[in-house]
Amino acid sequence: MMPKEINHIQQRIKKHKANHGQFTIEVARLELIHIETRVKLGDLLRTSGRGANLQGAEKHYFQALRDTTRLTQQAFLIARPTLLLNLRTNQAASNLGLGCLYRDQHLLDKASGQLTQAHDLIQSLILTEDSPDLQELLGVTFSVHGEVLNRLALLLAPGQRRTRDSCVGLEMQQNAVRIFNCLEGSTLGPPLHTIRYKLMATWTSMSDTLDTLGFNAESTTAIAEAQAIGRRASGEDNTCQLHLQQSIDACTKHTMDARRDLDDHTPTLHIGNKIRLHGLNNQAMNGRLGTVLGEANNNRIGIQLQGEQRQISIQNHQSTI
């Protein structure tokens, strides 16, 4: 329905401008709804369809950013702080959406750039008028950016990793935890479930960052915190979706060493798997480690080689068995 809603809003904007010949409060309201709908559609396309809709998501995020740039030049909006705040909040949400999109595509440098823009804009908005919604947006930005920086560090071989990336990422994730902890104590009703899920996801992601930095005990503690959040959310109800998700994450973390070993020997490839190449015609590539980026054309998969920025594609059956 969202594409139809966007088209409907566009027609209403054109009709209103034609009738009144100027930028009015009604046009401003419709423009804001139009941008917010594009951001929501981008989020929906990004998180559904197993990556099939990523190009469409990117298109809507960028269109929202272009519309925002156009509207921020309107004197009508500049003179109305509340409308301008809503507009800039949607701008930050677009940057955040693009950051998540590029993270999912393993375009980590591009992801970091978009997340930096989102962070800087949200911080400036908070200085003007703080709100729980802006704090939640900032918490998500910190959490995702921390994950991205740690993954950037993992692209390099152990002896060459930029530990500063992981350290900065850890600090961001700690900031996210503080924000979500505060919001958890002040949120009631269904939104509380969302806050707890984001808090749990941040602790789980933080455990990976701590593991990268060699803080094994602290990594285990982080997973324990995620488990505690799941239990707190579910109470006696073990069918609670948050509790089930936490259990999956925790089990994955507790078997991390075994999983790493299996990733070197599994025929079933998933995005993010660490694999060892073999059976390639280019003998120099056999034995190299890499990370699965996703499917490519003609039954091929994309691989990010460990320790360098180079990416290759190989036939699916040529990966590690």
pTM of this structure:
0.69
pLDDT of residue 84: 86
User: Taking the domains of the chain in order of start, what are their residue ranges?
Assistant: 1-129, 131-254, 263-318
Mean per-residue pLDDT, 12-38: 69
Q: What is the pLDDT of residue 26?
A: 72
Q: How far is CA 161 from the centre of its chain?
A: 22
Which tens digit of pLDDT belongs to each residue from 156-204?
Answer: 766 666 678 899 999 999 999 999 999 998 888 788 888 999 999 999 9
Which pLDDT score is estimated for 101?
A: 94
Dump pLDDT digits (tens) for 288-313.
Answer: 777 777 665 555 677 777 777 677 77
Beta-carbon contacts of residue 245 (< 8 Å; ≥ 6 apart)? 197, 200, 230
Nearest Cα residue to 94 out of 130, 31, 30, 46: 46
Tens digit of each residue's pLDDT (9 = 90 or more) over 217-274:
999 999 999 988 888 776 634 445 554 555 445 444 443 443 343 344 344 455 566 6
Q: Which CATH number fits domain 263-318: 3.40.1350, 1.10.150, 3.40.50, 2.30.30?
A: 2.30.30
Give the separation between CA 200 and CA 225, rounded to whole angstroms.
8
Please write down the HEC assignment for all residues of 199-253. Answer: HHHHHHHHHHHHHHCCCHHHHHHHHHHHHHHHHHHHCCCCCCHHHHHHHHHHHHH
Beta bridge partners of 294: 302
Q: Coil, strand, or helix at residue 278? A: coil
pLDDT at 62: 95
Sign of CA dihedral 25, 26, 27, 30: positive
Residue 191 CB partners (closer than 8 Å, separation 6+): none
What is the pLDDT of the chain when averaged over all its residues? 78
- Per the CB < 8 A criterion, the answer to whether 165 and 152 are in contact is yes
Residue in the block written with tokens 């197993």: 50
